[in-house]
Amino acid sequence: MGIAAERIERLEALARDAVDEGHEDRAREYVRLARRIAERNRLTLPRTFRRFTCDACDAYLRPGRNARVRLQDGHVVVRCDCGEIARYPYE
Ligand SMILES: [Zn+2]
């Protein structure tokens, strides 16, 4: 794994911890930074990152804290507190 990929992984962990500690804006900064690194290095963001970040407000989503997750028709439906809803096939 390259340095960029390692930084992204680390930023994801930092974002998760920041939300758990109530620092959601700080988590957004980590999310945005990780996205910029991925873009600059033409990397695909890890699946957990894509699933647990909000495309609308860049929040790092922690179900039960700032997101609601439910199953519907074979899909996982993730709703951010900002109102954005994302659906993924259930696997
Ligand atoms: Zn959101």
pLDDT, one tens digit per residue, over 70-86 is: 999 999 999 999 999 99
pTM reported for the whole predicted model: 0.93
**Gap from CA of 57 to ligand 1 centroid (Å):** 4
pLDDT at 90: 81
Q: Ligand 1 centroid to 55 CA: how many Å? A: 7
Contacts 24+ apart (CB under 8 A), 15-22: 15/53, 15/60, 16/52, 16/60, 16/62, 18/60, 19/59, 19/60, 19/61, 19/62, 19/65, 19/66, 20/62, 20/65
pLDDT for 84 equals 98
Q: Give the residues of the chain that fall short of pLDDT 70.
A: 91
Question: Letter for the amino acid at 57?
Answer: C
For the chain, what is the domain count?
Answer: 1
User: Is residue 80 part of an annotated ligand binding site?
Assistant: yes
71 labelled ligand-binding = no
For 83, residues 6+ apart whose C-beta sits below 8 A from its C-beta are 56
User: Domain containing 51: what range?
Assistant: 3-89
